[in-house]
Amino acid sequence: MEPDHNSSTPPPSTPFHHHHDGAGTCVNCGGPTAFPTPPPDPNPNYIPIRAPAVNLPPANNREIIIRTPVPQSQRIIPLTPPFHFQTPTKKIHSQSDIDQFHSSPTCHNFLGFIVSLSESVRSHKLSDPCHVSSPVSAIVSVLQTLIAYVDEIPLAPQTSRYGNLAYRTWHERMSCDAESFMLQFLPTNLHSATVELVPYFTDSFGNSSRIDYGTGHETNFAAWLYCLARLGVVKEEDYQALVSRVFVKYLELMRKLQTTYCLEPAGSHGVWGLDDYHFLPFIFGSSQLIDHKYMKPKSIHNEDILENFSNEYLYLSCIIFIKKVKKGVFAEHSPMLDDISGVPNWNKVNSGLLKMYKIEVLQKVPIMQHFLFGSIIQWQ
């Protein structure tokens, strides 16, 4: 179509331009061409309560977590005779080792065990009746004995914030008694398994040299329970009690060790601000609260709910413990947990935390380089 050269439409008007003179005003409109510098912030250290979480993982890690499939439960692959128990050793030294581990049946079965423990307490209070076998009772008794050791070992004089040297005395006593602890509940035909079980157990309560504790040590405790499950010492019907009796007692012990001997968090901030020391109680605790009629993720901000129900729900007990040991605004010292409180339901919280555990704990070389492999947890 030819253009209409006879059209009466006027040409577009020339844009209006501001012309500035040296006086800082526009010669056309008389308006200012510069604005004064705003006054300085009277409180430069102030952080808004809903500020973005400062300890979030890098954006690419968040994307990886979002795209990661939710880990699924697996039945334990039992270890069958003949047994060839051995002192477990470290195998992970690089990212390629991590990749090999994560593609192995060993990793899938271990993570599936964690998911099974989580599912065993779904919608259950800690006080709900559950099957408690003889081995489970013996393990709880062992942990109670270790709690008593703390009361029997006085603090050493110190001036530093972290690391009371008396912890080394406690750790040495625990390590010396570890094998006899195992023999309390292992059947006779599995007594030789102590050579493999003891290293997982003794590395579940922190490092005696550094006097620290973190999610790697917590993972060792889960690995020790996984070994017992592979050996048939604990069975699937014990899973609920492994969380509501054994893990609860383990958490009680670790909090006592952390507060008494001032264990340093292993790593900078645990897992980017979720908690300085723990991860698994948040997984198990969020599962407990799935489909709860009244308590939602945002309920962690309700002090009455925390006070009245923290003894029944692991997630709430973790929140109330953090609020006791950390001062200040919750969103500032625990930004990740504050962000999670905005998730609409506990099912999403639980599935998200399982994915985070896989990516931020089991796939991190600095954590997993200390993980042990032998004949029960095999390097494949």
Phi first, then psi, for residue 207 (nearest 5°) are -105, 125
DSSP conformation letters of 123-168: T--TTS-----HHHHHHHHHHHHHHHHHHHSPPPP--SSS--THHH
> Under 8 Å CB-to-CB from 105, ≥6 apart: which residues?
77, 380
> What pLDDT is stored for residue 333 in this prediction?
86
Q: Which pLDDT band holds residue 58 (cuts at 50, 70, 90)? A: low
Overall average pLDDT of the 225-249 stretch: 98
Whole-number pLDDT of residue 3: 46
Is 33 a residue whose pLDDT tops 60? no
For residues 312 and 244, what is the distance between their CA atoms, to the nearest angstrom? 9
CA distance 286 to 88: 33
CA 240 to chain centre: 20
Q: What rounded mean pLDDT belongs to the chain?
A: 87
> What's the DSSP call for residue 68?
S
- Mean local confidence (pLDDT), 303-327: 95
Residue 353: what pLDDT?
96
pLDDT higher than 50, residue 46? no
Lowest mean pLDDT among 32-46, 80-94, 117-131, 299-313: 32-46
Tell me the pTM: 0.83
**DSSP assignment of 299-317:** GGG-HHHHHHHTTT-HHHH
Q: How far apart are CA 118 and CA 116, in angstroms?
A: 5
pLDDT value at 56 more than 50? no
Give the pLDDT score at 365: 93
Q: What does the CA dihedral 285, 286, 287, 288 come to, rounded to 10 degrees?
A: 50
Which of 262-276, 296-310, 317-331 bottoms out in mean pLDDT, i.e. has the lowest? 262-276
Segments making up each domain of the chain, as ranges? 89-373
Selection from 332, 329, 377 nearest residue 108 by Cα: 377
At residue 60, the pLDDT reads: 64
User: What share of the chain in percent tops pLDDT 90?
Assistant: 73
| CA dist 274 → 75, 126, 361 (Å) | 29, 22, 12
Please tell me the predicted confidence (pLDDT) of residue 273: 63
- Determine contact, residues 372/200, Cβ cutoff 8 Å: yes
Which class would CATH give 89-373?
mainly alpha
